[in-house]
Amino acid sequence: MLSFAGKDDVSGDDRPDLGEQSVAKAVYVLNGPNLNLLGQREPAIYGHNTLADVEAMCRAAADSAGLPLVFRQTNAEHVMIDWLHEARTEACGIAINPAAFCYHSVPVLDALKMCECPIIEVHISNIHRREAEWRANTILTVAATGMISGLGVHGYTLAVQHIAHLTQRSA
Ligand code: CA2
């Protein structure tokens, strides 16, 4: 938690007053490669919602829980790793759709293992019910608190709500 000095501080101490207003850590929703094109390809598998629609859904869920939201997408592995490093101190929980990073990225796995907050791995499609068996073989789930797969983009909302539930329980 970060805190800021209150306006009535007359102590002469200009350091932040830890007893006043506090800023909650954010729910981080991170998206991997190609998800910027959500809604434009393979609607039979991934639906018609765009990533902007998904962000709006996540923001509504985070707003109702009174939590800030950080929502991002990248096609670059090193960017995802930098965001996970940032999340170590700034996030109360991470919902990550790693997309194809989940099949090969040991660096993303290592970065997830460094995060102590709850981590929900989200897949829009049911990766166990796809055309190819390899799609089920995510290497990241061992670092996750839990995983949601096959519930469409609603899985993101559920992940944010679950992180909010865990955050409020531990407050
Ligand atoms: O179901 C999911 O959310 C996936 O994580 C999506 C990944 C795929 O590699 C995983 O097996 C399951 C990314 C799919 C390719 O990106 C697309 C982006 C927009 C529309 C369709 C596909």
Task: Please name each of the domains of the chain with its CATH number.
Answer: 26-170 (3.40.50.9100)
Average pLDDT for residues 27-47, to the nearest whole number? 97
Q: What is the mean pLDDT of the chain?
A: 90
- pLDDT of the residue at 4: 35
* CA–CA distance, 141 with 139 (Å, rounded to integer): 6
Per the model's pLDDT, the better-predicted residue between 17 and 48 turns out to be: 48
Average pLDDT for residues 101-124, to the nearest whole number? 98
Residues having CB within 6 Å of any atom of ligand 1: 34-35, 37-38, 41-42, 46, 97, 99-100, 123-125, 127, 135
Whole-number Å distance, alpha carbon 35 to ligand 1 midpoint, is 6
At 95, the amino acid letter reads: A
Which residues are paired to 27 by β-bridges?
A: 69, 93
Helices (H), 38-153: 43-46, 51-65, 77-90, 106-113
Whole-number Å distance, alpha carbon 71 to ligand 1 midpoint, is 17
Residue nearest to atom 19 of ligand 1 (CA): 38
- pLDDT of the residue at 53: 98
Residue 115 has pLDDT above 80, yes or no: yes
Average pLDDT for residues 154-160, to the nearest whole number? 98
Average pLDDT for residues 108-128, to the nearest whole number? 98
Position in ligand 1 atom list of the atom nearest CA 37: 19
Residue 58 gets which letter from DSSP? H
Per the model's pLDDT, the better-predicted residue between 75 and 10 turns out to be: 75
Q: Which residues are catalytic?
A: 46, 123
- pLDDT of the residue at 111: 98
| Surface-to-core class of residue 7, CB atoms within 10 Å of its CB (0-12 exposed, 13-18 middle, 19+ buried) | exposed
Average pLDDT for residues 135-161, to the nearest whole number? 97
Q: How many CB atoms sit inside 10 A of residue 83's CB?
A: 19
How do residues 49-78 score in pLDDT, each as one tens digit?
Answer: 999 999 999 999 999 999 999 999 999 999
What own/partner pairs with CB < 8 Å and gap ≥ 24 does 44-48 have? 45/124, 45/125, 45/130, 46/124, 46/125, 47/124, 47/152, 47/153
Residue 150 has pLDDT above 70, yes or no: yes
Mutate to test the pocket of ligand 1, among 30, 80, 125 (most ligand atoms within 8 A of CB): 125
Position in ligand 1 atom list of the atom nearest CA 100: 9
Residue nearest to atom 14 of ligand 1 (CA): 99
* Residue 21 binned pLDDT confidence (cut-offs 50, 70, 90): low
| Surface-to-core class of residue 103, CB atoms within 10 Å of its CB (0-12 exposed, 13-18 middle, 19+ buried) | middle
Nearest-5° angle of CA 117, CA 137, CA 47? 80
Residue 97 has pLDDT above 70, yes or no: yes
